């Protein structure tokens, strides 16, 4: 891709700190780029830091503990980590917007959905109230909510889970953002509703050309949606590549383990699943060296002592594993 | 997942947060309750050792020494009959303690029993709770006056009169805890492994009520101490010959313009006792269950 | 499956809930959570029960265990009708049928240690002396992959996967023949989920357990089940041996469910038939076939007449006017 990325994250470190104790590093040395119209999936298990990465892009880390320890977040080349509070507020919801897993807690229960969408537009674009409500109606139509005129005046609790997620998407896209951060947008939904929402995100992306960062634990969702994939484990990127590269040649033992552990339709009926032994290490008890080493079948002495760097093993395919290190197999 | 990840990350630093809280938080969390506890222990001890510590017999009248201001012989001065107010105040603490402790114990015990029944058995719930609503509507002071006019004044009547209106409050608390616990999946799990009712109650349901109950008991004790004084002051409480703080204040009120110490010292003791119990209760609440802070 | 060979036989199970009165107190509205569900499970067999949230699959599990009282129907456990047993008579039967819950957090009493949790069923049935119980607990811990020295820890000191292992140990303590597993892995991470599924399959082989495996994840259900039943709005719409159901789904709802599952490789991406709309409310379920409001092939008859669940000799049954197992 020759053109400039819309969003670039460079060597981001997210840490949690209190008082004079040394900070706990939740995400370290995270870098990625997303281009216009592209979908990047960040995949990993709970506690791997994928949600914190997304929150730190918009500087929404929980106060007072969380903070960006190092790195840059570039939106069209402008570093969002150094702009003023007012400027970042202008970015939120307008240039970059975010949707969450549980739409009910992200919507205000005492305001009608139309009003909530219209207020987002009002804040960012300063149109008249009537224009804002018109835009809200148009957005509800765009996210294919049946009877949008009626729904406009309803409250979140009157809508089903799938419908609420559509409202969230309508609100997120109301100001035509350049980047959409979607944090597990379908995890709380049933599989038929998930299919509807994924289709919707894909269609709207084509219409608006937004870059999408989709955070998920579900490799099936990744296979459906991604152009590029970034696999995280214990706060670090362990593998990144195009969706074909990752699915055709998963190279990090963790990626391979995840794929083998996921039961999928038509695969290995009645046989044992490949399991990854052990559990994800706690945030403040991450091992030295490669964080995955204690659970890795191929780990050698070096893995426990020294963290492997990211190395390029194919066109756009990078992996952080000593098995692919300089001279190892490359 | 965003929420859980944030919680996990915050929890990871929370141990450090717990070890080194800000100075203000530390005072609020530990120092105040500790001071309350120390003060309460002193007050309790002083009441317990009153017979040995009091310099005079609290009933002994000494007409020569009427309404003396505090001096070396009578630390808190004397009342209109020349009785030593320091001795009377120490003895008065015993009445307050007995009333506070008895009311707290009786109302939590009765309230626990009724609350558990109301929370667990849906049939009994409607009837019991209407009765509780009825009890709650009776003002404690009117009840005391009524009881006094029916029987002879005694400290036990005072305890009953204060306990009855407190019971519904305990019942409501216990019932709400039981109602929320019985919906927990682990209660279903216990049922599924064949747990019988008595064990289900004792091992799975009752333990959840203890923390809020202990906290509630301290508040009840404090308010009972205060109520006993109101009632005595109004002449419908502890029999006037017994030196309770309320009685001492009631008698002293006639001479307040010439002998303010008659009411000053018992009032200070009363205030300190109520304050220390309440501060201790707040501390217990914060320690036992921070979520309770919002419920009580 | 005849009544003789099955460990658990459920006939016409119904569970309705009252949900408050209408505006003028006229007639209570009823929520049809489960509306006539029948199935049987053979020894050592896993029946997967799938459906979307609100279809009543969890209620089926709870009603079979009589954790909620069924409105109607018959539950036969090892040849004995337990539907109308008194509470105390039922307790004796609980040894034979155990449950694993979805949420490994709320299903363990936070005030009891791990050892006490697993020991409790043994205490309830007075099995063995205290020392023997301790021994059995240690053996159960080892069997489900927990360290015996973790016995004195409280639930909050365990990870989600470990808690689920505790729940499994508790269920196994009494040596049941049937285990109702209600979404046992849906709260777990993928890598841990695989560990728990493998454990469940090993235990089945070892002890000849029968599972009623309730889940919404078709991948998991396909993996672990021998037979699968698909539920929609309180009714079973299709049931068949696993391979048959996944290879040739007959009911349009089963087809839609399968089509909605995300692909396992990006090259398999396709434009699929997306089911329109949401599941209707179980308070006023649609007339006729309950799926007709979302069905792509519905005809007039589907709106009026309810299709019966008809089976063929291979054990494939479908409740649809337009699709039968035979054609």
pLDDT tens digits, one per residue of C157-198: 888 889 999 999 999 999 999 999 999 998 888 888 899 999
Looking at the predicted structure, is the pLDDT value of residue B265 above 60? yes
SS3 call for B185: helix
Mean pLDDT, rounded, for A89-109: 85
Query: What percentage of chain B carries pLDDT values higher than 90?
Result: 34
CB contact under 8 A, B193 and C120: yes
Q: Please tell me the predicted confidence (pLDDT) of residue B2.
A: 45
Looking at the predicted structure, is the pLDDT value of residue B14 above 80? no
C85 and C26 Cβ atoms separated by less than 8 Å: no
Mean pLDDT, rounded, for B217-224: 92
Nearest to B207 by CA among B185, B232, B181: B181
Q: Please tell me the predicted confidence (pLDDT) of residue A329.
A: 43
CB contact under 8 A, A65 and B10: yes
Q: Please tell me the predicted confidence (pLDDT) of residue B205.
A: 92
Give the whole-angstrom CA distance, residue A99 versus residue A111: 18
Per DSSP bridges, beta strands C178-182 and C97-100 are parallel
Q: Please tell me the predicted confidence (pLDDT) of residue C43.
A: 95
Predicted confidence band at A178 (pLDDT cuts at 50, 70, 90)?
very high
Looking at the predicted structure, is the pLDDT value of residue A328 above 60? no
Q: Please tell me the predicted confidence (pLDDT) of residue B5.
A: 62
CB pairs < 8 Å spanning A and C: 136
Which residues in chain B are closer than 8 Å to C91, comparing Cβ atoms?
A: 194, 196
Is residue B294 situated within a structural domain? no
Maximum C-alpha span of chain B:
81
Whether the CB of A327 is below 8 Å from some CB of chain B: the reply is no
CB contact under 8 A, A65 and B13: yes
Is residue C190 situated within a structural domain? no
Give, rounded to a whole angstrom, the gap between the first and last alpha carbons of chain A. 25
Is residue C60 situated within a structural domain? no
Is residue C66 situated within a structural domain? no
Mean pLDDT, rounded, for C279-292: 87
Is residue C309 situated within a structural domain? yes
Predicted confidence band at A188 (pLDDT cuts at 50, 70, 90)?
confident
CB contact under 8 A, C190 and A258: yes
Mean pLDDT, rounded, for A186-200: 86
Nearest to A44 by CA among A237, A202, A289: A237
CB contact under 8 A, B10 and A16: yes
**What's the mean per-residue pLDDT of chain B?**
84
Which position has the higher pLDDT, A121 or A282? A121
CB contact under 8 A, C277 and A247: no
Q: What's the pLDDT tens digit per position in A115-174?
A: 999 988 888 888 899 999 999 999 898 888 888 888 999 998 888 888 888 898 888 888
Identify the closest residue of chain B to C169 by CA–CA distance: B193
Q: What pTM was estimated for this model as a whole?
A: 0.84
Q: What's the pLDDT tens digit per position in C100-128?
A: 998 888 899 998 999 999 999 999 999 99
Mean pLDDT, rounded, for B24-50: 85
Q: Please tell me the predicted confidence (pLDDT) of residue B4.
A: 57
Q: Please tell me the predicted confidence (pLDDT) of residue B9.
A: 58
Looking at the predicted structure, is the pLDDT value of residue A237 above 90? yes
Question: What domain range is B199 assigned to?
Answer: 76-82+97-272
Q: Please tell me the predicted confidence (pLDDT) of residue B18.
A: 42
Q: What is the DSSP string of C245-257?
A: HHHS--SHHHHHH
Q: Please tell me the predicted confidence (pLDDT) of residue B19.
A: 43
**What's the mean per-residue pLDDT of chain C?**
89
SS3 call for A156: helix
Lowest-confidence region among A186-200, A239-253, B18-32, C22-36: B18-32
Looking at the predicted structure, is the pLDDT value of residue A103 above 80? no
Nearest to A170 by CA among A235, A218, A119: A119
Looking at the predicted structure, is the pLDDT value of residue A330 above 50? no
The complex's ipTM works out to 0.85
Q: What is the DSSP string of A208-253?
A: H--EEEEEES-HHHHHHH-SEEEEEETTEEEEEEEHHHHHHS--SH
CB contact under 8 A, B188 and C106: no
Which residues in chain C are closer than 8 Å to B210, comparing Cβ atoms?
A: none
Question: What domain range is C273 assigned to?
Answer: 242-327
Which residues in chain A are closer than 8 Å to C52, comparing Cβ atoms?
A: 190-193
Is residue C162 situated within a structural domain? no
Our count of domains for chain B comes to: 1
Our count of domains for chain C comes to: 1
CB contact under 8 A, A51 and B2: yes
A153 and A72 Cβ atoms separated by less than 8 Å: no
CB contact under 8 A, C274 and A226: no
Mutate which: B120, B193, B291, vs C, most C CBs within 10 A:
B193
Q: What's the pLDDT tens digit per position in A212-231?
A: 999 999 999 999 999 999 99
SS3 call for A132: helix
CA angle C268, A192, A246 (to 5 degrees): 30
A189 Cα to chain B: minimum distance (Å): 13
The CATH number that applies at residue B262 is 1.10.3720.10
Give the whole-angstrom CA distance, residue A13 versus residue A10: 9
Q: Please tell me the predicted confidence (pLDDT) of residue A22.
A: 80
Whether the CB of A184 is below 8 Å from some CB of chain C: the reply is no
**Chains contacting chain B through 3 or more C-beta pairs under 8 A:** A, C
CB-neighbour burial class of residue A199 (10 A; exposed 0-12, middle 13-18, buried 19+): middle
Is residue B191 situated within a structural domain? yes
C50 phi and psi angles, rounded to 5 deg:
-115, 160
Predicted confidence band at A191 (pLDDT cuts at 50, 70, 90)?
confident
**What's the mean per-residue pLDDT of chain A?**
88
Is residue B286 situated within a structural domain? no
- Please state, in angstroms and as integers, the Cα–Cα distance from residue B150 to each residue in A18, A140, B144, B147, B156, following that order: 64, 72, 10, 5, 14
Q: What's the pLDDT tens digit per position in B138-195?
A: 887 788 888 878 887 788 888 998 999 899 999 999 999 999 998 889 999 999 999 9
Is residue C208 situated within a structural domain? no
Is residue C31 situated within a structural domain? no
- Please state, in angstroms and as integers, the Cα–Cα distance from residue C271 to each residue in A198, C249, C276, following that order: 12, 19, 14
How many Cβ atoms sit within 10 Å of the Cβ of residue C126?
8
Q: What is the DSSP string of A250-312?
A: --SHHHHHHHHHS--TTS-TTSPPP---S-PPPGGGPPSS-TTGGG-TT--HHHHHSPPPPEE
C4-7 contacts at long range (C-beta below 8 A, 24 or more positions apart) = C4/C79, C5/C42, C5/C43, C6/C40, C6/C41, C6/C42, C6/C43, C6/C76, C7/C41, C7/C42, C7/C43, C7/C77, C7/C78, C7/C177, C7/C178, C7/C210
C198 and C206 Cβ atoms separated by less than 8 Å: no
Which residues in chain C are closer than 8 Å to B181, comparing Cβ atoms?
A: none
Mutate which: A273, A277, A278, A292, vs C, most C CBs within 10 A:
A273
Predicted confidence band at C230 (pLDDT cuts at 50, 70, 90)?
very high
Q: Please tell me the predicted confidence (pLDDT) of residue A273.
A: 83
């Amino acid at each position: 891709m020759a053109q400039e990325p819309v969003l670039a994250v460079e060597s981001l470190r997210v840490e949690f700190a209190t008082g004079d104790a040394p900070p706990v590093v939740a995400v370290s040395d995270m870098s990625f780029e997303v281009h216009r119209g592209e979908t990047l999936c960040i995949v990993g298990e709970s506690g791997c830091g994928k949600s914190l990465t997304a929150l730190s892009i918009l500087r929404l880390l929980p106060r007072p503990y969380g903070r960006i320890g190092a790195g840059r977040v570039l939106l069209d080349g402008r570093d969002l980590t150094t702009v003023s509070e007012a400027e970042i507020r202008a970015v939120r919801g307008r240039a970059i917007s975010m949707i969450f897993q549980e739409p009910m807690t992200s919507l205000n229960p005492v305001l009608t959905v139309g009003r909530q969408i219209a207020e987002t537009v009002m804040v960012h674009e300063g149109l008249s109230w009537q224009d804002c409500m018109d835009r809200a109606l148009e957005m509800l139509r765009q996210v294919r909510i049946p009877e949008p005129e009626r729904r406009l005046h309803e409250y979140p609790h009157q809508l089903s889970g799938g419908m609420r997620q559509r409202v969230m998407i309508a609100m997120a896209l109301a100001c035509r953002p350049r980047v959409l951060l979607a944090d597990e947008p379908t995890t709380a939904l049933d599989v038929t509703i998930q299919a509807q929402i994924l289709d919707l995100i894909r269609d709207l992306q084509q219409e608006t050309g937004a870059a999408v960062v989709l955070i998920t634990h579900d490799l099936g969702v990744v296979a459906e949606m991604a152009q590029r994939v970034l696999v995280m484990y214990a706060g670090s990127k362990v593998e990144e590549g195009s969706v074909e590269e990752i699915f055709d040649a998963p190279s990090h033992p963790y990626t391979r383990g995840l794929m083998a552990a996921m039961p999928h339709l038509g695969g290995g009926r009645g046989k044992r699943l490949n399991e990854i032994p052990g559990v994800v290490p706690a945030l403040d008890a991450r091992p030295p060296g490669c964080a995955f080493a204690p659970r890795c079948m191929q780990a050698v002495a070096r893995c426990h002592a020294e963290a492997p760097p990211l190395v390029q093993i194919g066109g756009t395919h990078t992996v952080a594993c000593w098995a692919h290190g300089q001279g190892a197999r490359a | 997942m965003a929420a859980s990840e944030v919680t996990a990350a915050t929890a990871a630093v929370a141990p450090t947060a717990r070890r080194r809280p800000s100075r203000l938080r530390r005072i609020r969390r530990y120092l105040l309750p500790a001071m309350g506890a120390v003060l309460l222990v002193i007050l309790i001890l002083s009441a317990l050792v009153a017979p040995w510590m009091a310099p005079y017999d609290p009933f002994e009248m000494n007409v020569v020494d009427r309404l003396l201001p505090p001096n070396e012989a009578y630390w808190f001065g004397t009342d209109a009959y020349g009785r030593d107010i320091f001795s009377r105040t120490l003895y008065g603490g015993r009445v307050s303690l007995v009333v506070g402790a008895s009311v707290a114990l009786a109302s939590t015990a009765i309230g626990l029993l009724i609350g558990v029944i109301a929370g667990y058995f849906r049939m009994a719930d409607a009837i019991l709770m209407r009765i509780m609503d009825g009890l709650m509507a009776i003002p404690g002071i009117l009840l005391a006056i009524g009881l006094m006019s029916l029987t002879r004044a005694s400290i036990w009547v005072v305890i009953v009169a204060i306990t009855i209106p407190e019971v519904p409050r305990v019942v409501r608390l216990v019932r709400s805890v039981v109602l929320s616990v019985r919906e927990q999946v682990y209660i279903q799990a216990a049922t599924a492994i064949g747990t019988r009712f008595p064990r289900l109650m004792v091992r799975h349901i009752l333990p959840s009520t203890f923390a809020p109950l202990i906290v509630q008991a301290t508040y009840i004790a404090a308010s009972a101490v205060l109520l006993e004084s109101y009632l005595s002051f109004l002449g419908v409480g502890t029999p006037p010959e017994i030196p309770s703080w309320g009685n001492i204040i009631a008698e002293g009120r006639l001479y307040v313009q010439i002998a303010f110490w008659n009411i000053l010292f018992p009032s200070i003791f009363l205030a300190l006792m109520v304050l220390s119990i309440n501060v201790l209760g707040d501390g217990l609440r914060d320690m036992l269950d921070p979520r309770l802070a919002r419920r009580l | 499956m005849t009544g003789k060979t099955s460990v658990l036989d459920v006939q016409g199970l119904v569970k309705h809930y009252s949900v408050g009165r209408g505006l003028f107190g006229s007639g209570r509205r009823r929520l049809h959570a489960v509306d006539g569900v029948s199935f049987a499970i053979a020894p050592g067999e896993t029946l997967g029960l799938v459906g979307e949230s609100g279809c009543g699959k969890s209620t089926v599990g709870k009603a079979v265990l009589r954790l909620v009282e069924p409105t109607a129907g018959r539950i036969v456990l090892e040849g004995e009708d337990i539907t109308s047993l008194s509470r105390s008579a039922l307790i004796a039967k609980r040894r034979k049928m155990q449950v694993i819950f979805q949420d490994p957090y709320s299903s363990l009493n936070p005030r009891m240690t791990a050892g006490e949790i697993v020991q409790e069923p043994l205490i309830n049935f007075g099995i063995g002396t205290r020392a023997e119980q301790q021994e059995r607990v240690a053996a159960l811990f080892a069997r489900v992959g927990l360290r015996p020295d973790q016995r004195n820890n409280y639930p909050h000191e365990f990870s989600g996967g470990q808690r689920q292992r505790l729940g499994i140990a508790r269920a196994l303590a009494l040596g049941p023949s049937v285990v109702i597993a209600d979404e046992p892995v849906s709260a777990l991470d993928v890598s841990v989920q695989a560990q728990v599924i493998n454990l469940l399959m090993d235990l089945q082989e070892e002890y000849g357990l029968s599972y009623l495996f309730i889940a919404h994840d078709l991948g998991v259900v396909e993996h672990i089940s021998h037979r699968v039943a698909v539920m929609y709005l309180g009714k079973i719409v299709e049931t068949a041996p696993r391979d048959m159901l996944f290879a040739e789904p007959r009911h349009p709802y089963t087809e839609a469910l399968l089509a909605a599952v995300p692909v396992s490789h990006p090259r398999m991406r396709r434009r699929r038939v997306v089911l329109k709309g949401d599941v209707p409310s179980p308070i006023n379920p649609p007339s006729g076939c309950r799926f007709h409001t979302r069905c792509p092939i519905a005809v007039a008859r589907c709106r009026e007449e309810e299709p019966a669940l008809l089976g063929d000799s291979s054990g494939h049954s479908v409740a649809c006017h337009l699709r039968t197992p035979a054609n």
